[in-house]
Amino acid sequence: MARQAGIIKLTGSVGGVTFYMRKDGTYFARKTPGISKKTFKTSKNFEGSRRAGQEFGQASRVSSRLRRKILPLMFEMDKGYLPSRMTAHFQKVLRTDPTHGPGERKISFGNLDLMKGFRFGTEVLKDILGGVPHLHFDEFQKSYTVDFSEMGTTVAVPKAASHSQIRIAMVGLEEDGLAEFILLAENIPYLPVGIETDHLGKVEFHPEEKLHAGQLVFMILGIRFFQEVNGEMNALRESEAFGLEDCFLAS
């Protein structure tokens, strides 16, 4: 953008440059945009771009809602461009929808297994834990179990850590609606370093009053390390990790 000088002031477009007057009476010149908004929205030449934009928007909205639900769990963890990474993952799921055409595809019709193992930060949860617990949803009982009974000792522990704590959340979202929920596993104890994670046993969720058909359900697992000083647990930023370990469509 450049300000016009001289006695004669111009308005209009010529040679790829638009001349115009601002509300304050000053005259400027700028490069003419390639296409107008109206052309982009109505021309058949941009139909593919419009469909791609619609699908990006769909993936971005679901990604944003999920992040808002779980970000308070992750404190100051290094998230490594989380918004763009998560949106890209949801786009991959959306493109596997075999039912709808481009521009109308839905995440809930796609292959949700592609979301499993997605990391919310720079650390990979299973590398720190040495694996992941067994996850199981009982369709008949509408209950979900996170079973640590076959887990061993955490394999990657910061030198300053004296304890760790596992954190688990179940998040439900309607893809095209406003209903959503989050359930947090409560009373999970701090585990002293060196104690096997199987001490946690089975952690169960009973979301039957919140689940309904067509809802996207995400199981989020994480770990955070602490240093005990004078009986107080001080959280460490090092090696904090969260992963999306299961994703399914409620029926």
SS3 string of the chain? CEECCCCCCCCEEECCEEEEECCCCCEEEEECCCCCHHHHHHCHHHHHHHHHHHHHHHHHHHHHHHHHHHHHHCCCCCCCCHHHHHHHHHHHHHCCCCCCCCCCCCHHHCCHHHHCCEECCCCCHHHHHCCCCEEEEECCCCEEEEECCCCCCCCCCCCCCCEEEEEEEEEEECCCCCCEEEEECCCCCCEECCCCHHHHCEEEECCCCCCCCCCEEEEEEEEEEEEEECCEEEECCCCCEEEEEEEEECC
pLDDT in tens, 86-126: 999 999 999 999 999 988 999 999 999 999 999 998 889 99
pLDDT in tens, 115-156: 999 999 888 999 999 999 999 999 888 899 999 999 988 888
High-pLDDT (> 70) share of the chain, %:
87
pLDDT in tens, 179-220: 899 999 988 999 999 899 999 999 999 998 888 889 999 999
Ranking 42-46, 163-167, 222-226, 235-239 by mean pLDDT, the lowest is 42-46
